[in-house]
């Protein structure tokens, strides 16, 4: 699902978004989408918690965006932002995940992400639409997560495992258990990259 993390450009739209990203999908560990492109049929959800930056002059700090669905097919986008940020956060999310599939709807709902260092719990709409828990997959030193630094993404992917999770919106529904998850606590994407 992180194949969508390639930077996007929109004519005359200036943006810079920094924050944390986390995702889970139905693929086995590790999902190959970041290396071979969006795998049609990969089902997953991902989120960005924005801690700095702007889109078209609107400050996005504190905004949360997420998407879920079937990669390369159909997705839903979720936005949790202040009223003054909502339109800009929605426009950024649509551009950021434009390669993930047709956007069926954009919903303004609560998005929560708690935890750190790959041990996360994500809920969308208070767990009514989605819930995902993850844990890091540690490398040889048994301290740090496996890092994929040469993927088709503008930042390294830290490997995690989706311990449990589910997604349900419209006619798209799936569960996650012992499947792939990626995260990075220090992302930045901006126009002109």
pLDDT tens string, the chain, 193 residues long: the values are: 444 444 455 557 899 999 999 999 999 888 888 877 776 678 999 999 999 999 999 999 999 999 999 998 999 999 999 999 999 999 999 999 998 899 999 999 999 999 999 999 999 999 999 999 999 999 999 999 999 988 878 889 999 999 999 999 999 999 999 999 999 999 999 886 4
In the chain, alpha helices (H): 33-36, 83-96
Using alpha carbons, list the distances in angstroms from residue 125 to 13, 138, 142, 164, 181: 29, 30, 35, 17, 20
Q: How many CA atoms lie within 13 A of 6 on its CB side?
A: 14
What single-letter DSSP state applies at residue 50?
A: E
What's the sign of the alpha-carbon dihedral 186, 97, 8, 14? negative
Using alpha carbons, list the distances in angstroms from residue 77 to 42, 66, 104, 141, 152: 16, 6, 8, 37, 22
In 98-147, alpha helices (H): none
Q: What is the pLDDT of residue 89?
A: 98
Detail the DSSP E strand segments found in 14-171.
15-25, 43-55, 58-59, 64-70, 73-80, 101-108, 111-116, 119-124, 130-136, 147-148, 157-169
* 69 within 8 A of 104, measured Cβ to Cβ: yes
Q: What is the pLDDT of residue 3?
A: 44
Q: How many CA atoms lie within 13 A of 174 on its CB side?
A: 20
Between CA 88 and CA 146 the distance in angstroms is 34
Between CA 75 and CA 80 the distance in angstroms is 17
Read off the tokens for 2: 């992180």
């Amino acid at each position: 699902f992180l194949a969508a993390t390639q930077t996007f450009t929109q004519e005359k739209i200036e943006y810079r978004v920094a924050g944390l990203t986390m995702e889970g999908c139905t693929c086995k560990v590790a999902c190959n989408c970041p290396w071979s492109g969006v795998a049609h049929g990969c089902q997953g959800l991902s989120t960005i918690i924005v801690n700095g930056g702007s889109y078209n002059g609107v400050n996005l700090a504190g905004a949360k965006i997420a998407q879920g669905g079937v990669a390369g097919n159909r997705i839903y986008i979720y936005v949790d932002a202040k009223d003054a940020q909502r339109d800009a956060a929605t426009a950024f999310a649509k551009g950021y995940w434009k390669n993930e599939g047709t956007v069926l709807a954009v919903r303004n709902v609560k998005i929560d992400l708690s935890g750190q260092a790959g041990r996360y719990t994500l809920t969308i709409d208070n767990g009514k639409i989605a819930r995902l828990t993850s844990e890091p997959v540690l490398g040889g030193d048994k301290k740090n997560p496996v890092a994929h630094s040469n993927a088709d993404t503008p930042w390294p992917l830290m490997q995690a495992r989706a311990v449990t999770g589910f997604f349900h919106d419209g006619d798209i529904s799936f569960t996650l258990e012992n499947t792939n998850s990626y995260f990075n606590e220090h992302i930045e994407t901006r126009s002109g990259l």
